[in-house]
Amino acid sequence: MTTTSVSTFSAPKGTYDLIPPDSAEFLAVREALAAPLRRAGYGYVETPGFEQVELFSRGVGESTDIVTKEMYTLTTRGGDELALRPEGTASVLRAALQANLHRGALPVKLWYSGSYYRYERPQAGRYRHFSQIGAEALGAEDPALDAELIILADDAYRSLGLRGFRLLLNSLGDRECRPVYRAALQEFLRRLDLDEETRRRIEINPLRVLDDKREAVQRQLTDAPMMRDHLCEACKAYHEQVRELLTAAGVAFEDDPRLVRGLDYYTRTTFEFVHDGLGSQSAVGGGGRYDGLSEMIGGPELPSVGWALGVDRTVLALRAEGVRPQVAAGPRVYAVPLGEEARRTLFGVVTRLRREGVAADFAFGGKGLKNAMKSANRSGARWALVLGERDLAEGTVQLKDLESGEQEAVPLDRVVTAVQAKVG
């Protein structure tokens, strides 16, 4: 009988495993990005890793690269067409509508964390499986809500020590002024030398052409009409209020009239956080207002705004700046037993320490003193508890300071109290 070693398998192309010590950095970033949201009254929501394909084709947009090229789709045995979620907003909105959250107090403020999947060409900062923290505020059309979310994202990045990012800001208009701009843009784009696929996109969603990253296309867009020149008075006033609120909060931004974002559902406020230390994949997060998305997926009129921040890209941005987030502390105490009776006794001490809130680890595997002390030093613990036969006979345990090398005998029946006093 032939057995296959698990070591012959690797993570799929374009994905990654999070393992210590790097995983601690990712956890710290997730916590920092989520913390301002919890303080601002956003409740946590978690949705399935897959949804009906139509949710994304309707919500994200049939002309987007995400829907046409990047979604992982599957057909179930029952014939249902499903897709691994490529983004979070459509799923969160679907969940809120299904649970009738919109029938209660508005806005409904939700945040989420999870993995998302897109079939993309893997490169630094772009993976086929990636992690995001997202936030959505559903059911209110208020420039203060747009500003709140942008400020919370800015605060989150700064709390990590990130400084080299920029905030780009634009308005995409609404159902009143966007059609006029769309027609003007289509007229301009039809005169350009573009391939057939891009020409089809002009007819479905011409704004997506502005987001085309190919240099040959961008060169032809120099004189393209701008949305800001076609905004109605209501959209101009709305956008100006967002800008004023951000300025008053000390959040610096750059007006970017070409900012479109890659999803069809955005209206009015659109924004992106970019970091110049990441090369071509410079966006670390972004979002905007999506007042018509609820109706696109069969729900009621529900003006909303949200964002998603990339955990992977934020980690890369921190590394580019040489900043390491404050990670959760490891064990403060490492227990080293010498002999079977000491092992049972010290294991009990470690259990009591953990129950009292002291992070503690144990020398498993019956290691000798020398190897066990090496493990204690590698663990990052400040203190070691060493228990041998003589200590047992005397009813004491050695409490050793691994930095200074000093140690003292502590009565076994008071060791938990003594350790708590040391670790503070």
What does the alpha-carbon distance between residue 219 and residue 197 come to, in Å, rounded to a whole number? 18
pLDDT of 1 higher than 50: no
Give 8-24 pLDDT, tens digit per residue. 899 999 999 999 889 99
pLDDT of 3 higher than 50: no
pLDDT given at position 2 = 44
**Which amino acid does the sequence have at 3?**
T
Give all domains of the chain, ordered by start, each with its CATH number.
8-177+231-320 (3.30.930.10), 333-423 (3.40.50.800)
Lowest average pLDDT, out of 48-57, 107-116, 236-245, 253-262, goes to 253-262
Lowest average pLDDT, out of 19-28, 200-209, 398-407, goes to 200-209
DSSP H or E stretch at residue 403 = none
| Eight-state DSSP code of residue 12 | P
| Eight-state DSSP code of residue 278 | G
What does the alpha-carbon distance between residue 32 and residue 340 come to, in Å, rounded to a whole number? 43
Q: Which residues of 26-61 are buried (b: 16+ CB within 10 A; e: fewer)?
A: bebbbbbbbebbeebebeebebeebbebebbbbbbb
3-state secondary structure (DSSP) of residue 411: strand
pLDDT of 281 higher than 80: no
Which of 126, 167, 161, 125 lies closest to 321, judged by CA? 161
Q: Which residues of 169-206 are buried (b: 16+ CB within 10 A; e: fewer)?
A: bbbbbbeebbeebbebbeebbeeeebeeebeebbeebb
Which of 365, 366, 406 lies closest to 382, judged by CA? 406
Give 95-117 pLDDT, tens digit per residue. 999 999 999 999 999 999 999 99
What does the alpha-carbon distance between residue 126 and residue 129 come to, in Å, rounded to a whole number? 9
CB atoms within 10 A of CB 255: 12
Residue 365 gets the label, from left (phi > 0), alpha (psi -120 to 50) or beta, of left
pLDDT of 198 higher than 90: no
What does the alpha-carbon distance between residue 271 and residue 12 come to, in Å, rounded to a whole number? 32
Handedness of CA 421, 327, 383, 363 (dihedral sign): positive
Give 347-391 pLDDT, tens digit per residue. 999 999 999 999 999 999 988 899 999 999 999 999 999 999 999
